[in-house]
Amino acid sequence: MVTKSDMIAALKLMDIAAGDTVLVHSSLTSIGYVQGGAEAVIEALLEAVGPEGTIAMSTLTGWAEPFDAAATPSAVGKISETFRRRPDACRSLHPVHSVAAVGKLAAWITEGHERCETGCGPGTPYYKIRDLGGKVMMLGVDMDRNTIMHSLEEEIDARYLHTIDIPAPTYAAEDGGKTVTLHKFPPGHRDFLKLTPELRKRNALIEGRIGLAAVLVMNVRDVFDIGLELLRNDPLFFICRNPNCNSCHWSRQLYTETAPDLSRYGGNGCADPTCEICVVEA
């Protein structure tokens, strides 16, 4: 059994300190049995950073239905869903890449997200946390769940990012529009796990455990600096080489002089009618 005091002690060992701003990605089940469940994890995080600190969590959502900040649940785990439902939580209004936050800077971090050009670019909570000198924690999840990776792709204007129209969020209903356009929308598969050993080699990663869960903690500025160095040297750094991965095959084709052959992706067993790759340019 993992208690709140166990978690607070572990967080201190991983350099989570009073006054910190921390973006947390998490899996409750990975920890094992937690006394008090998701609420206890959240309370441990908030107690670790204290009243001068701020905890933030991605509360990502799908895009088939209109986003409602109060009602649309987080699609990235029970901890984030429990967190965004707290009465003291602020949630940003981006219809796909929303962030919830609690603490001293919660309102500032989340405000204005819906007016940003892209979901994870300049002016978004992800950049604000970077500019605050904040940290990102992977609690029982790996780097593939780190939303900051999309900020890096946007920064280099990766060719495989999309422009798509989705149903307008509920807060935009009074404007009369039925859809909104998302720019630099991240599609399909990427191998973000490749960043972990690079951070480890450069002493930019703190590793620990909470219960049964492996935990990674890193400074967001380090993630930006190291990740962008790698991507500017190779914009396909995060694109896997599995020949059976339609998404990454398509992304590589965009960096050649040959137009992608979309017929390659037909009849290949994909059962998802909303797949970002199978419907691209259809």
The per-residue pLDDT string of the chain (282 residues; one tens digit each, 9 = 90 and over) reads: 999 999 999 999 999 999 999 999 999 999 999 999 999 999 999 999 999 999 999 999 999 999 999 999 999 999 999 999 999 999 999 999 999 999 999 999 999 999 999 999 999 999 999 999 999 999 999 999 999 999 999 999 999 998 999 999 999 877 667 899 999 998 788 999 999 999 999 999 999 999 999 999 999 999 999 999 999 999 999 999 887 788 888 889 889 987 767 677 666 655 555 555 554 443
Please check whether residue 168 lies inside any domain of the structure: no
pTM (global) more than 0.85 = yes
**What single-letter DSSP state applies at residue 86?**
S
Split into its structural domains, the chain has a count of 2
Please check whether residue 179 lies inside any domain of the structure: no
Please check whether residue 246 lies inside any domain of the structure: yes
215 and 267 both lie in a single domain: no
Neighbours of 99 (CB within 10 A): 29
Contact between 117 and 87 under an 8 Å Cβ cutoff? The reply is no
Distance, CA of 65 to CA of 159 (rounded, Å): 27
Alpha-helix residue ranges (DSSP H) falling in the chain = 4-13, 28-31, 37-49, 78-84, 106-110, 125-131, 148-155, 195-201, 220-233, 246-253
Domain enclosing residue 249, as ranges: 240-282
Please check whether residue 22 lies inside any domain of the structure: yes
Long-range contacts of 46-51 (CB under 8 A, 24+ apart): 46/102, 46/103, 47/4, 47/8, 48/8, 48/11, 48/12, 48/16, 48/17, 48/18, 48/20, 49/16, 49/17, 49/18, 49/19, 49/20, 49/21, 49/22, 49/103, 50/18, 50/19, 51/103, 51/104
135 and 274 both lie in a single domain: no
83 and 36 both lie in a single domain: yes
